Structure 1
Amino acid sequence: MRIFPEGQRVGLGGAPLGNMLGEVTDADAVATVNAAWDEGWRFFDTAPHYGLGLAEERLGAALQDKPRDAYVLSSKVGRIIYSADSAAPDDEGFEISTTRRRRWDFSRDGVLRSIEDSLRRIGTDRLDIVFVHDPDDHYEEAVAAAFPTLIELRDQGVIKAIGSGMNQSAMLTRFVQEIDIDVIMLAGRYTLIDPDALDDVLPACVEHDVQVVAVGIFNSGLMSQPRPAAGTTFNYAPAEQALVDKANKVADICESHGVTLPTAALAFPLFHPAVAGVAVGCRTPDEVRTNATLSRTAVPAALWSDLKSAGLLREDAPTG
Structure 2
Amino acid sequence: MDATALIDAAWAAGLRYFDTAPYYGYTLSERRVGDALVRRDRDAFTLSSKVGRLMRPDASVLSGDDGWAEPLSFRPTFDYSYDGIMRSYEDSQQRLGMPRIDIVYVHDIGSMTHGERHASYWNQLVAGGGFRALVQLRESGGVGAIGLGVNEWEVASDAMDELPIDVILLAGRYTLLEQTASVPLLDRCAREQTAIVIGGVFNSGILAGNGKFNYADAPAEVIEKVRRLTALCERFGVSLPAAALQFPFAHPSVMSCVVGARTVSQLQQNIAWLEQGVPEEFWIALRNEGLVAAAAPLPNRKM
| Seq. identity, % | 41
TM-score by length of 2: 0.91
Residue 164 (structure 1) aligned to one of 125, 145, 148: 148
Counterpart Cα distance in 2 of 1:223 and 1:94: 22
> Any conservation in 1 of the 2:20–2:50 contact (CA below 8 Å)?
yes
What is the CA-CA distance between 1:118 and the residue it aligns to?
0.6
Q: Which has the higher helix share?
A: 2
What is the CA-CA distance between 1:98 and the residue it aligns to?
4.1
Residue 74 (structure 2) aligned to one of 100, 107, 112: 100
Counterpart Cα distance in 2 of 1:69 and 1:42: 10
- Which amino acid in structure 2 is aligned with residue 309 of structure 1? N
TM-score by length of 1: 0.86
Paired position in structure 1 for 2:113: none
Match of 1:31, SS state, is: helix
Matched, 1:192 2:176: yes
What is the CA-CA distance between 1:70 and the residue it aligns to?
0.4
The superposition leaves residues 86-127 of structure 1 with CA deviations (integer Å, 9 ceiling, x where unpaired) of: 444563221235431110111111111111111111111210
Counterpart Cα distance in 2 of 1:86 and 1:273: 46
Residue 220 (structure 1) aligned to one of 198, 204, 219: 204
Paired position in structure 1 for 2:252: 273
Counterpart Cα distance in 1 of 2:122 and 2:232: 41
TM-aligned CA distance change 1:174 to 1:100, over 3 Å:
same
Paired position in structure 1 for 2:123: 140
> Any conservation in 1 of the 2:183–2:295 contact (CA below 8 Å)?
no
Paired position in structure 2 for 1:183: 167
Match of 1:140, SS state, is: helix
- Which amino acid in structure 2 is aligned with residue 128 of structure 1? D
The superposition leaves residues 287-308 of structure 1 with CA deviations (integer Å, 9 ceiling, x where unpaired) of: 1111111111222111111011
Residue 224 (structure 2) aligned to one of 207, 227, 245: 245
- Gaps in structure 2 of 5+ consecutive residues: 111-117
Counterpart Cα distance in 2 of 1:52 and 1:196: 31
Alignment of 1:1-320 (within 5 A): 27-89=1-63, 91-96=65-70, 98-136=72-110, 137=118, 138-144=121-127, 145-224=129-208, 228=209, 232-319=211-298, 320=301
Paired position in structure 2 for 1:9: none
Counterpart Cα distance in 2 of 1:267 and 1:109: 39
What is the CA-CA distance between 1:133 and the residue it aligns to?
0.6
Higher relative contact order (CA 8 A, sep 6+): 1
TM-aligned CA distance change 1:66 to 1:97, over 3 Å:
closer
Counterpart Cα distance in 2 of 1:300 and 1:177: 39
- Gaps in structure 1 of 5+ consecutive residues: 1-26
Q: RMSD of the alignment, in Å?
A: 1.5
Counterpart Cα distance in 2 of 1:33 and 1:177: 36
The superposition leaves residues 155-193 of structure 1 with CA deviations (integer Å, 9 ceiling, x where unpaired) of: 111211000010101111111233211000000000000
Divergent runs of 4+, >4 A: none
> Any conservation in 2 of the 1:271–1:318 contact (CA below 8 Å)?
yes
- Which amino acid in structure 2 is aligned with residue 59 of structure 1? V
Paired position in structure 2 for 1:7: none
What is the CA-CA distance between 1:269 and the residue it aligns to?
0.3
The superposition leaves residues 169-224 of structure 1 with CA deviations (integer Å, 9 ceiling, x where unpaired) of: 11111112332110000000000001111132112212221000000000011111
Counterpart Cα distance in 1 of 2:107 and 2:61: 25
**How many residues are paired up?**
289
The superposition leaves residues 44-90 of structure 1 with CA deviations (integer Å, 9 ceiling, x where unpaired) of: 00000111100000111111332111000000000001113544456
Counterpart Cα distance in 2 of 1:267 and 1:58: 28
